[in-house]
Amino acid sequence: MANQGTPLNPRMRLEVYLFALFNEDLKPGPTSERNYGLFRPDESMTYNVGISTLATPSSSSSPSGSGSFSLASSATKIK
């Protein structure tokens, strides 16, 4: 598939490890240790890295909290 990777290598699949989805504002320690997350505790975006949620059909057989994430090509539109 085309356009899976970076602009330099668009055909090379890019796999990442997401360390923290949410900032941990109640975690003890310095501020730098509490601000690794992509989102704030109120679910507003901390860092715009071009991630958008994809709508998934609701089904009684799917576990709650499941969903998909995708790198959006129009990341600059997210505020």
User: Domain boundaries in the chain?
Assistant: 1-47
In this predicted structure, the answer to whether residue 13 has a pLDDT above a threshold of 50 is: yes
| Higher-pLDDT residue of 39, 56 | 39
Binned at pLDDT 50, 70 and 90, residue 19 comes out as confident
Contacts of 56 (CB under 8 A, 6+ apart): 62, 66, 67, 68
At residue 60, φ and ψ (nearest 5 deg) are: -70, -20
Instruction: Work out the average pLDDT over 40-65.
Output: 63
In this predicted structure, the answer to whether residue 67 has a pLDDT above a threshold of 80 is: no
Query: With b meaning 16 or more CB within 10 Å and e meaning fewer, what string describes 22-56?
Result: ebeeeeeeeeeeeebbbeeeeeeeeeeeebeeeee
pTM above 0.75, yes or no: no
What's the pLDDT at 78? Answer: 43
Do residues 55 and 62 make contact, with C-beta atoms less than 8 angstroms apart? no
State whether residue 71 is helix, strand or coil.
Answer: strand
